[in-house]
Amino acid sequence: MRLLLALGLLLLARPARAAEDDVIVYGATPGGFCAAIAAAREGAKVLLLEPSAHVGGVNTGGLSFSDSNQTVRSTLLGLFEEWHQRIGADYAARGVKLPYDVAVKDNAVWTYEPHVAARVTDAMLKEAGVKILTKQPLEGVEKNGARIVGLRTSAGLHTAKVFIDATYEGDLMARAGVVWHIGRESRDEYGESLAGRQYPKQKLAINGFDANGLPLPLITSLRPGDDQAGEETVMAYSFRLCLTKNPANRVPFPAPKAYDPARFELVRRYFQKYPDAPLPWDLYPLPGGKFDANNGIGKMFSMGLVGEANGWCASDPAGRAKLWEKHKQYTLEFYQFLTTDDAVPAKIRTTMAELGLCRDEFVETEHWSPQLYVREGRRMDGRYMLTQKDVLSDPKKDDPIAVSSFPIDSHDCRRIALPDGVINEGTIMPVHVPGRRHGPAYHIPYRAITPSASECTNLFVPVALSATHVAYSSVRVEPTWMTIGQSAGIAAALAAKDGVSVQALDYPKLRERLLAQHQVLDLPVLPPLPQSKPKTNPTK
């Protein structure tokens, strides 16, 4: 009797094993919530697990300037288009006319406020019947051979037939034993001219060392290294802050926990040498008299904390919390420097001092974005590796699940102090189609979101997908991830229903369902560029 009682108490003490779902999506990023909605619309029972308290990733966390303005928008239909249509309807219902029309597939700027994006996202998930659990960091993965059985979080073991890793970091993929890589490849590895070390920005004619010959703060390296070689660092992370100048809605920036003006001596020297330097933060106007503040890809110093993103993916939740706070404190310190230091040009000090956080945004987190902008994390070594060639010269694939067309671009990876100046390294300035405002259009193949069958047979990876750093620098925006996520959700529902591995899923059947959910699978035929009038020689 005592033995039975003890066994009963032991079972009660263990986390409950949830009923099996058809599809579990881990990561409520835009790629994740689109995957969950798409799978549910195919009739699957879907559970969306999010390690943080925030649903929507950067789309609801401050990124309010749609990067689709640099894409071929006619290829972005499906849930991406619906999401934007519903944002427009939300504003229209309140009598607010947006300065763009989602039905017009031009390169106009599409903007929205974070709380509106969150409201639309929550409504779409609820209507689809997706069950959501937040604050569920991954504690373990149970596998039977090459098949994932379940994910363990604080809420217990979550089992499903098919799983989708929609995290920016590729956390589930890594825990499941799928091979991945991080950092930047050498130029020789895949024959990529944009790989290796990249230096498109000018060298700054400033001294990067203090009086003792030690590198100043914000310097991350003293050795450029071989230009052809690979490099382990990733592009800078930052926040996308929602700001305003409106006194009625403006909340002052909080003071940093500590502020040392010496930390910004390098930036001080920069302004002294270049007094006409631009505003360090990019500011995109939003509805409601607000701005989306972003790291400036072409700027020497901005919101990105260069060199501090490298340990993010390898860190546990506590480690990531420290890095998140480190990025926040850098942003607050930089703001204080830009608004108070005499070395900062007066025009910049005045402009920055007018800005504050928005009283009606991110109320639960004291108006600060809960989402760090993780531009790049792990990348899977999947059944097809996207490279620079796929983006620029070999776009067509036999198993397309999406069309991508954002320019290849990478933010700074390192800041190097040299004997004769300071230079930012790793930047790839946007590679547009000549004469157009978007990048080349190319297929995302189904094989790029599926791992080797020997590693895992029931996992899709639509965000940390299989690509080199160069190709990923084009893929890595929310419009593309939303589209790929939707396709992954449809594929997951089909694989669960048919009881097949993700590698054995019938592509013609998948293609039929992708088209039924309004995905675009054909590469666009672009209209010819307008011809400029020939110049005529004046008669003398």
DSSP letter string, 153-186: ETTEEEEEEEEEE--SS-HHHHHTT--EE-SB--
CB 260 within 8 A of CB 132: no
Question: CA angle, corner 368, sides to 366 and 372, nearest 5?
Answer: 140
402 lies in a domain?
yes
- Contact criterion met (CB below 8 Å) for 220 and 415: yes
Chain-centre distance for alpha carbon 267: 27
Is 457 inside any structural domain?
Answer: yes
Mode of pairing for the β-strands spanning 290-295 and 241-244: antiparallel
Residue 484 lies in a domain: yes
Can you tell me the distance from the alpha carbon of 94 to that of 218, in angstroms, rounded to the nearest whole number? 45
pLDDT tens, per residue, the chain with 540 residues: 444 444 344 344 444 445 789 999 999 999 999 999 999 999 999 999 999 999 999 999 999 988 999 999 999 999 999 999 999 999 999 999 999 999 999 999 999 999 999 999 999 999 999 999 999 999 999 999 999 999 999 999 999 999 999 999 999 999 999 999 999 999 999 999 999 999 999 999 999 999 999 999 999 999 999 999 999 999 999 999 999 999 999 999 999 999 999 999 999 999 999 999 999 999 999 999 999 999 999 999 999 999 999 999 999 999 999 999 999 999 999 999 999 999 999 999 999 999 999 999 999 999 999 999 999 999 999 999 999 999 999 999 999 999 999 999 999 999 999 999 999 999 999 999 999 999 999 999 999 999 999 999 999 999 999 999 999 999 999 999 999 999 999 999 999 999 999 999 999 999 999 999 999 999 999 888 877 555 554 433
In a domain, 149, yes or no: yes
Q: How many CB atoms lie within 10 A of CB 412?
A: 26
> Phi-psi region for residue 288, left (φ > 0), alpha (ψ -120 to 50) or beta?
left
pLDDT of residue 64: 97
Q: Position of tokens 């108006």?
A: 367
> Residue 15: its pLDDT value, please?
45
CB-side neighbour CA atoms (13 Å) of 38: 34
Q: Which residue has the tokens 């979101």?
A: 449
What total number of domains does the chain contain? 1
Could you tell me the two tokens for 391?
A: 């983006």
Half-sphere exposure of 326 (CA within 13 A, CB side): 16
DSSP of 356-414, one letter per residue? EEETTS-GGGTTS-S-EE-----EE--SS-B-HHHHHT----SSEEEEE-PPEEE---E
Whether 86 is covered by a domain: the verdict is: yes
In angstroms, the CA 382 to CA 484 distance is 15
pLDDT at position 532, please?
A: 59
In terms of residue numbers, what domain contains 138? 19-182+394-408+431-516
Q: Give the SS3 label for residue 528.
A: coil
Please name the residue that has the structure tokens 């229209």.
92
Question: How far apart are the C-alpha atoms of 306 and 301, rounded to whole Å?
Answer: 9
Residue 183 has φ and ψ, to the nearest 5°, of 95, -155
Residue (of 494, 382, 373, 500) closest to 444 by Cα position:
382
Give me the pLDDT at residue 530, please.
Answer: 78
CATH number for the domain that contains residue 443: 3.50.50.60
How far is it, in rounded angstroms, from Cα 382 to Cα 124?
31
Q: Report DSSP state, residue 306.
A: T
The reported pLDDT for the residue numbered 6 is 41
Confidence at residue 534, expressed as pLDDT on a 0 to 100 scale: 54
How far is C-alpha 367 from the geometric centre of its chain's CA atoms?
A: 21
Beta bridge partners of 53: none
Tokens of 272: 């002294």
Domain for residue 128, yes or no?
A: yes
First to last CA, the chain: 115
What's the confidence (pLDDT) of residue 528?
Answer: 87
| 441 Cβ contact list (under 8 Å, min separation 6) | 72, 75, 395, 403, 404, 405, 523, 524, 526
Asked if the structure places residue 65 within a domain, the reply is yes
Q: How many residues does the chain have?
A: 540
Residue 153, domain member (yes or no): yes
Token couple for 264: 């910004």
Q: Which residues does 97 contact at the CB level (< 8 Å), separation at least 6?
A: 91
Q: How many CA within 13 A on the CB side of residue 513?
A: 21
Q: How far apart are CA 238 and CA 234, in angstroms?
A: 12
Give the integer Cα–Cα distance in Å for 131 and 60.
19
